[in-house]
Chain A
């Protein structure tokens, strides 16, 4: 079942000299319900622009986005965002930060129900013991966990992750990736992740959308990551396919990202390596 449909999405900025700068053009993508899609590309290629347009925080210049069965017109809690910085209100506790959204999204629930929703979300990210701490008393990783809890407490149709682990050290990043996977395995929320970390997208995503270099960036290739769920890091890292996927992504980013072709679809059957060599896979 199709959950998100992005058609001919374009973002252009007029500059003061009457010309327009086109950041993203003709971005077309359909996302299935419960699917985990990653957006990867070089810095400045417009992947975050696509995500913020999907979130409704950035105006759409042309084309459109349909979520569920209606076109989006602005930001809303059906498309919860986890930002790169945790964006917590420093004057509220972890619980208060989660409740800020919950109060607004479930206006008809009783106080006890809302409290339960917030507590559940915080437990899901492993903060059962730190609900009453303020952001200044928490590490960056814990703060980002609150950010995730705030997003999933809204029970969004689509969860948007905008480089959520970009500012964390690699150990904390792995912990949080596991947290996200665990939650998504349970909740089956359609998710879009923007990242420039190839390990991360291979480990987390069902499909990785590779974007061409900007300006006028669009989809270059799409790679299906054919690993079963639930996924487990150690066993995945023993699988040669994992590295072949990494190779494909890295070779795209270093060798093919500047090319302008129609989007190509790849999966474990037609993986590419460096210098465009076809990779034979075991599967």
Chain B
């Protein structure tokens, strides 16, 4: 088999069919046909996406919210950069805190040099901002100022005339006490007319106000860009100040060294002192020793950043998914094998399948909380603190609750599909098994499960998709660190930047969900013998 067909086979198994005309075109196979395929599978979807982005960019700014206007694609793209910068800064601080010796000094020198550079850049950026603001003021004066003037003038005039009218009416009213009924009615009519006049004035005023506000809303992209550049530099400067601290006076190495020097001094004075409070000196030594011990293993308390939250969410969804599979596959097999067992399970499946994760979660949190009244010293949770990689993601009761919720909501698809697959075992194959007198386990592992595998994997694929959707909801509710928590934090924050970052999350969740689905598709194809690779 040539390399070309190996690649095409791989593309087919991965379900990335849009790539196969590209490969075929590259090898010069029927160019006209391939171009047509590329048009259908690549160009059209790309155009559709571009149209979507264009529509988004046009429509979004039209709606104002309390967190500013709905972010456009470019704002969302910048927000993505912001999330990533924050992550990189925090990772740098975490690593910097642990650096030692020469490495630390080199890094410190580098950071110090950079902060001077940033200072320069910031100065330039500030000048640019001032210039942009001045330019925009001119623009403001020509467009907004006349409208504002017109509005202000009219407001003044109408207020004055209203005052005059009211005063005249009040004066007239004072004379009415002796007037006839007709005169009184005439006054009432005059009062009505005046009120109507005021209403008309108000409407006119509102019209002018709209015009003025519209003019004011003309945005000034230069100012926006300059402000953003300034913010980015300010962020970096703030980071560098902290970073230099981490590498310098706050670094673990220096803290330890200082503590050790102090310990030595205290020791010497304790051993050699001829006067003074030896009790105080002695306990000082012990305190110092303790301090050294804790400092030696201390770490920078890095806040949760989105990339780390994503990894934790993935861990959580896989934990839930494994739990769901461990429950659903055996029960599904039993259901498929025994009609009686299936009859017993049917009401449970029908009853619990539609239950929302938002109902399960609080219940499960309370149940798990009952098992782990003291999470800090729980043996089960402490076990995870020793597992490499996982120990960085703090397995807590919230994490377990989210995982169990994911499992409870996602296991049904696998269960039903497994039962279906096991039930669909070929009668001829069972006859073969009877002739060969295969035992129960042989039948199960050699015939039943292989037959059911493609359907089991179809179920697992649905389960993983459901699990991923459920997880984000569960994390929002349980405030378990993860993507959902990030969204919740951004929602609570309410700034226009965090509004844009929520949009970033939409795409991240979508892309990860898509990748998970693709992975399951590959597994599903690998286990299904129907589409087995032809001879070659």
Does residue B378 face the partner (Cβ distance < 8 Å to A)?
Answer: no
A105 adjacent to B436 (CB under 8 Å): yes
User: How near does chain B come to A60, taking the closest CB pair, in angstroms?
Assistant: 15
Considering the complex, which residues of chain A in the window 8-26 have a beta carbon less than 8 Å from any beta carbon of chain B?
none
In the complex, per-residue mask of B513-536: 1 if CB is within 8 Å of any chain A CB, else 0: 000000000000000011010110
Q: How far is the CB of A276 from chain B (nearest CB, A)?
A: 40
A90 B529 Cβ-Cβ under 8 A? yes
Tell me, in angstroms, the Cα distance from A101 to B532 when the chains sit together.
Answer: 24
List the A side residues contacting B530 at CB < 8 Å.
90, 136
Please determine whether A137 and B534 come into contact, CB atoms closer than 8 angstroms: yes
Q: How far is the CA of A240 from the CA of B336 in the complex (A)?
A: 57
Set B426, B436, B453: member contacting A100, Cβ < 8 A: B436
Residues of B within 8 A of A215 (CB): none
Q: Which residue of A lies closest to B431 (CB)?
A: A57
Contact among B435, B437, B439, B529 for A91, CB-based, below 8 A: B529
Size class of B's contact patch? 20 to 34
Complex contacts, B426 vs chain A, CB 8 Å: 87
Q: Does A177 contact B (CB under 8 A)?
A: no
Q: Are B431 and A81 in contact (CB under 8 A)?
A: yes
Max chain B C-beta neighbours (<10 A), residue from A57, A91, A100, A133: A91
Residue of A nearest to B453 (CB): A91
Q: Among the listed B437, B442, B450, B529, which residue makes an inter-chain contact with A77, where contact means beta carbons less than 8 Å apart?
A: B437
- Asked if A248 is at the interface (CB within 8 A of a chain B CB), the reply is no
Q: How far is the CB of A236 from chain B (nearest CB, A)?
A: 32
Q: A87-B429, A89-B429 are in contact. Are A75 and B434 (CB under 8 A)?
A: yes
* Least distance between B90 CB and chain A CB atoms (Å): 49
Q: Are A87 and B529 in contact (CB under 8 A)?
A: no
Q: A80-B435, A100-B436 are in contact. Are A91 and B450 (CB under 8 A)?
A: yes
- Quick check: is B438 within 8 A (CB to CB) of the other chain? yes
CB of B435 within 8 A of CB of A104, answer no
Let me know if B181 is at the binding interface, CB within 8 A.
no
Evaluate whether A75 and B529 lie within 8 angstroms (CB atoms) in the complex, with A89-B447, A89-B450 already known: no
Contact in complex: A77, B436 (CB < 8 Å):
yes
Which residues does chain B contribute within 8 Å of A55, judged by CB atoms? 435
Beta-carbon contact of B529 and A134 below 8 Å: yes
Q: Which residues of B contact A100 (CB under 8 A)?
A: 436, 438, 446
Q: State whether A76 and B532 are in contact (beta carbons under 8 Å apart), knowing that A85-B428, A91-B450 are contacts in the complex.
A: no
The 5 lowest CB-CB distance pairs between A and B, nearest first, are: A75-B434, A90-B529, A136-B532, A137-B535, A87-B428
Is there contact, CB below 8 Å, between A136 and B434? no
CB distance from B506 to the nearest CB of A (A): 41
Query: Taking the nearest CB of chain A, how far is it from the CB of B426, in angstroms?
Result: 8
Partner of A76, one of B428, B437, B453, B534: B437
Chain B residue contacts of A263, Cβ below 8 A: none
- B436 — nearest CB in chain A belongs to which residue? A101
Cβ B529 vs Cβ A104 within 8 A:
no
* A-B pairs with beta carbons under 8 Å apart, 11 shown: A56-B435, A75-B435, A75-B437, A81-B432, A81-B435, A87-B429, A89-B429, A104-B436, A104-B437, A133-B535, A136-B532
Contact, CB under 8 Å: B532 / A74: no
Interface set of A (CB-CB < 8 Å, partner B) = 55-57, 74-77, 79-81, 83, 85, 87, 89-92, 100-101, 104-105, 133-134, 136-137, 154
Distance in angstroms between the alpha carbons of A74 and B435 in the assembled complex: 9
Q: Which B residues form the contact surface with A (CB < 8 A)? A: 426, 428-429, 431-432, 434-439, 442, 446-447, 450, 453, 529-530, 532, 534-535
- How far, in whole Å, are A154 and B435 apart by their CA atoms in the complex? 10
| A residues near B428, Cβ cutoff 8 Å | 83, 85, 87
A76 contacts B446, C-beta separation under 8 Å: no
Residue of A nearest to B527 (CB): A91
Residues in A neighbouring B532, C-beta threshold 8 A: 90, 134, 136-137
Please, how many angstroms separate the alpha-carbon atoms of A104 and B438 in the complex? 7
- Most A Cβ at <10 Å: residue of B426, B439, B529: B529
- Distance in angstroms from A64 CB to nearest chain B CB is 19
* Residues of A close to B442: CB separation below 8 A: 104
Docked-complex contact A79 and B435, CB < 8 angstroms: yes
Cβ A56 vs Cβ B436 within 8 A? no
CA distance A134 to B450 in the complex (A): 14
User: Given the complex of chains A and B, what is the CA–CA distance between A90 and B442 in angstroms?
Assistant: 16
- The answer for the CA separation of A100 and B442 in the assembled complex, in Å, is 9
**What's the Cα separation between A60 and B447 when bound, in Å?**
27
In the bound complex, residues from chain B placing their C-beta under 8 Å from that of A91 are 450, 453, 529
Please report the C-alpha to C-alpha distance between residue A211 and residue B530 in the assembled complex, in whole angstroms: 39
B-side contacts of A104, CB under 8 Å? 436-439, 442
Q: Provide the residues of chain A in CB contact with B431, threshold 8 Å.
A: 57, 75, 81, 83, 87
> A29 CA to B530 CA in the complex, in Å?
43
| Residues of B contacting A85 in the complex (Cβ-Cβ under 8 angstroms) | 428
Q: Tell me the nearest residue of chain B to A91, going by C-beta.
A: B450
Residues of B within 8 A of A81 (CB): 431-432, 435
Q: Which residues does chain A contribute within 8 Å of B438, judged by CB atoms?
A: 100, 104
Which residues of B are found within 8 Å of A57, using beta-carbon distances? 431, 434-435
Docked Cα-Cα span, A57 to B530, in Å, equals 27
Complex contacts, B529 vs chain A, CB 8 Å = 90-91, 134, 136
Chain A min CB distance to B152 (Å): 84
Apart from A89-B432, A101-B435, what 4 extra A-B contacts exist at CB < 8 Å?
A: A75-B434, A75-B437, A91-B450, A105-B437
- Bound CA–CA A46/B530 (angstroms): 33
Complex Cα–Cα for A85 and B435 (A): 15
Kindly list chain A residues whose C-beta atoms are within 8 Å of the C-beta of B450: 89, 91
Interface centre among A80, A90, A105 (most CB of B within 10 A): A90
Q: CA separation between A86 and B34, bound complex, in Å?
A: 40
- How far, in angstroms, from A134 to B428 measured CA to CA in the complex? 18
Q: How far is the CA of A142 from the CA of B380 in the complex (A)?
A: 56
* Chain B minimum-CB-distance residue to A138: B535
Alpha-carbon separation in the docked complex, A61 to B66 (Å) = 82
